[in-house]
Chains A and B, each alone.
Chain A
Amino acid sequence: MTTEADEPELRAHFEETVAADRRVEPRDWMPEAYRATLVRQIAQHAHSEIIGMQPEGDWITRAPSLRRKAILWAKVQDEAGHGLYLYGAAETLGADRDDLTRRLLEGRQKYSSIFNYPAATFADVGVIGWLVDGAAICNQVPLCRSSYGPYARAMVRVCKEESFHQRQGYELLWTMTRGTAAQREMVQDAVDRWWWPSLMMFGPPDAASPNSERSMAWRVKRHSNDELRQRFVDMTVPQADRLGVTLPDPELRWNEERGRYDFGTPDFAELARVIGGDGPCNRERIARRTAAHEDGAWVREAAAAHAERRARRADGAGVAR
């Protein structure tokens, strides 16, 4: 039981743990703001995984071969799994799963803006794997060292699996770019549409990201938005060259002095608009998630009723649960 008198000491111990790069575990004392920040970040991350099943999910039934169908199916199933690891991590902070779902459906918690863009062609499946999952990996690898233990451990699992996602995407594009002229055009078109939204995944520029500094002090976040964006560009340009596609940024060029690429500024007004609910697919994504949740209600209720009846019978027969 924590009394007010204990708090300065508990806080000092917490700060010391975080500063020494040790992990904070679920039942440790933590400042309420740390808990709230983590719940918001982990929930948003979990929601992104779940909503992120939709753009590619559309292509499962339309994949051009059994091989591609099986791969895509496995990938979308992984996204569901990632969402569940993360909901589990959020629950260790006292968040309630049903409540998190409600907040998503009511628009009170966000998910990544990227999933509000449509997957127009099958080349989009490849580009999502390459760029969107590539950007996600860039964001997530440092989170494997996040100060909150359950989040860091979930991210280790997620990152291992994301690597398959990115590689299957690149391989798909590699195959298409070695196909017909029409296929190459499809790939370039998809790259043109996804490049800027992918850069927006790293969030607003550092100067406009008010919570970043505190999150970094708490080691909930390990690098700034702009630093991660730069890393992603530096990693991706050679991959684009190898693929033979053009990234749609006239300002993109190697900067010898910095040893990094210079690149243009994403349209952050568009990012704000999409986060605010006015992207190409926001309504469709939430409507679909809501329908899935409501259509599944009878299954959840039936399973709970079945479990309860079995437990009652077992009790009646004097058998342990």
Chain B
Amino acid sequence: MSGTEAVDGGWPLFEVFVRGKRGLNHVHVGSLRAADARMALTHARDLYTRRNEGVSIWVVRSADVTASAPDERDPFFAPSGDKVYRHPTFYEIPHDVPHI
């Protein structure tokens, strides 16, 4: 997503999310241009689900997406980097304790 609105009164950009089947999350599949959200939905159906790829679609204006800074080096994600105790493998338990 570029986050830019259309110039010259053109159609705005929408991001498209598709739920592949029941039980799965919606996943971002790409973007498209449409005059409004309703048109974006029908265009998304024609563009991204021509072969039964989805059971549900979300569209959202690209300009309405707030995103974190691009890079994984970014300190934004640093708080989770040094907390190994959040993972189950951090804990040593005797081998003969069952079901844990």
**Interface positions of A (Cβ within 8 A of B):** 13, 25-29, 74, 77-78, 81, 84-85, 88-89, 91-94, 96-98, 150, 153-154, 161, 300, 303-304, 306-307, 310-311, 321
Contacts and interface: CB of A to CB of B under 8 A. Distances in A.
Contacts, number: 70
Interface string B10-49: 1101000000000000000011110111010000001100
Contact of A81 (B6, B39, B47): B47
6 contacts: A25-B70, A28-B70, A81-B50, A84-B32, A98-B10, A154-B30
Interface residues of B, number: 27
A97 B50 CA distance: 23
A304 B70 contact: no
B58 to A, nearest CB: 15
Given A29-B71, A97-B6, A161-B51, 20 more contacts: A13-B71, A26-B1, A26-B70, A27-B67, A29-B70, A77-B50, A78-B50, A84-B32, A92-B31, A93-B2, A94-B4, A96-B7, A98-B6, A98-B8, A153-B30, A303-B35, A306-B35, A307-B35, A307-B36, A311-B36
Contact of A303 (B11, B37, B51): B11
A78 B49 CA distance: 11
Contacts of B73: 13
Contacts of B7: 96, 98
B2 A92 contact: yes
Nearest to B67: A27
Nearest to B8: A98
A92 B3 CA distance: 8
Nearest to B50: A81
Given A91-B2, A91-B13, A92-B1, A304 B35 contact: yes
Interface of B: 1-2, 4, 6-11, 13, 30-33, 35-37, 39, 46-47, 50-51, 67, 69-71, 73
A27 B69 CA distance: 8
Given A26-B1, A81-B50, A97 B9 contact: no
A304 B9 contact: yes
A221 to B, nearest CB: 22
A287 B26 CA distance: 41
Contacts of B6: 96-98
Given A28-B70, A88-B32, A94 B47 contact: no
A303 B36 CA distance: 8
Contacts of B39: 303, 307
Among A154, A303, A307, residue most surrounded by chain B Cβ atoms (within 10 Å)? A307
A181 to B, nearest CB: 38
Contacts of B51: 161
Contacts of A97: 6, 10, 33
A37 to B, nearest CB: 18
Contacts of B33: 97
Contacts of A306: 35-36
Contact of B31 (A13, A25, A91, A161): A91
A79 to B, nearest CB: 12
Contacts of A161: 51
Nearest to B53: A157
Contacts of B70: 25-29
A201 B35 CA distance: 36
